[in-house]
Amino acid sequence: MTAGDRPPRKFPLPLDRLRASPRASPTPTRAGASAAEALPRPQRHGLAAPSDLHRRAPPAGLGLDSADVRRRMVDRLRAGGVEHPQVLAAFATVARHLFVDPALATQAYEDTSLPIGYAQTISKPSVVARMLEMLFAGQNARTGGSLGRVLEIGTGCGYQAALLSELARRVISVERLKALHDKARELLAPMRSNRLRLVFGDGMRGHPPGAPYDSVIAAAVGGDIPAPWLEQLAVGGRLVSPVEQEGGTQALVIVDRSEAGYTRTVHGAVRFVPLKSGLA
Ligand code: SAH
């Protein structure tokens, strides 16, 4: 074949330059196949793509089920300053990739927040770890060696609820979006934890039937801390929540309750989705 009688080229790559020498090429040439068909085709590996489209479970073969992947995340958390052994052990135990969309599973052990649908996000592991560590420094948690009775506002996909149930005697997690509440219920079902209770409701009101709480943790940010959370905090209990600051920034706020009253301290900058009232 000469350059003159070649069909018009549809593909922008100069495929004829990719031709290996006849002896080196392992590509079998069918009798009657044209020289163009015998060329190595880089797109041939894409033939498996249609079957990938129908994949629902996290991609297999990525090693995400391995405890090693989580151990590496724990090493990074430790290098970033997280020290509490129980907090680190919980991160080594709970499989974060099962809580995110299969298409995002490969990013599940990176230190990043990820979308969980309905305009919400699963928080960054380093921020969750920091908040859990802050809760452990509360008076009741220090003396009890556990987070005790916990109220979580904003179940989302349930990842943080799974961590909490490794660290507490009892966890009540409230979510205002029915679709996410149902999704978390489904994802957490295999854990069969009788320490964890998921509630569909407006977390701005806390959850009075489970009060008082030794630890309160919010995964959504508001202009201030709702009064019911403070009322439902046990004496010796600690609350950790993002709160909007002047100038549109957000910071983590800790509130400790003692016999004498409430003490509030403001910590580092964070970024959370908004706390909203009512159900949806
Ligand atoms: N901890 C979650 C992150 C959830 S993102 C996880 O691990 O996936 C914050 C969640 O707070 C969202 O799901 C949002 O719907 C919920 N939320 C916001 N306002 C709320 C309210 N008033 N009551 C309960 N949940 C609320």
Domains of the chain in sequence order: 115-274 (3.40.50.150)
In the predicted model, is pLDDT for residue 5 greater than 90? Answer: no
Residue 31's pLDDT band (boundaries 50, 70, 90)? very low
123 is catalytic: yes
Position with higher pLDDT, 22 vs 280: 280
* Distance of alpha carbon 246 from alpha carbon 197, whole angstroms: 35
Amino acid 15: pLDDT: 44
The type of residue at 158 is G
Rounded mean pLDDT, 6-27: 46
Tell me the CA distances in angstroms from 193 to 156, 162, 203, one per residue in order.
17, 9, 21
* Distance of alpha carbon 180 from alpha carbon 116, whole angstroms: 9
Total residue count of the chain as it appears in this document: 280
Distance between alpha carbon 172 and the CA centroid of its chain, in Å? 19
Among 5-9, 69-73, 132-136, the least confident range: 5-9
Tell me the CA distances in angstroms from 230 to 85, 142, 240, 255, 261, one per residue in order.
28, 20, 11, 8, 10
Q: Cis (ω within 30 of 0) for the bond into 212?
A: yes
List the one residue out of 198, 199, 215, 186 whose CA is nearest residue 116.
186
Residue 192's pLDDT band (boundaries 50, 70, 90)? confident
Amino acid 57: pLDDT: 62
Q: Which of 25, 123, 126, 277 is catalytic?
A: 123
Rounded mean pLDDT, 71-84: 97
* Distance of alpha carbon 2 from alpha carbon 106, whole angstroms: 47
In the predicted model, is pLDDT for residue 43 greater than 80? Answer: no
Amino acid 48: pLDDT: 54
The percent of residues above 90 in pLDDT, for the chain, comes to 74
User: Ligand 1: residues whose CB is within 6 Å?
Assistant: 116, 120-123, 153-154, 156-157, 159-160, 174-177, 180, 202-204, 219-220, 273, 275-277
Amino acid 65: pLDDT: 72
* Ligand 1 pocket mutation, candidates 121, 153, 204, criterion most atoms within 8 A of CB: 153
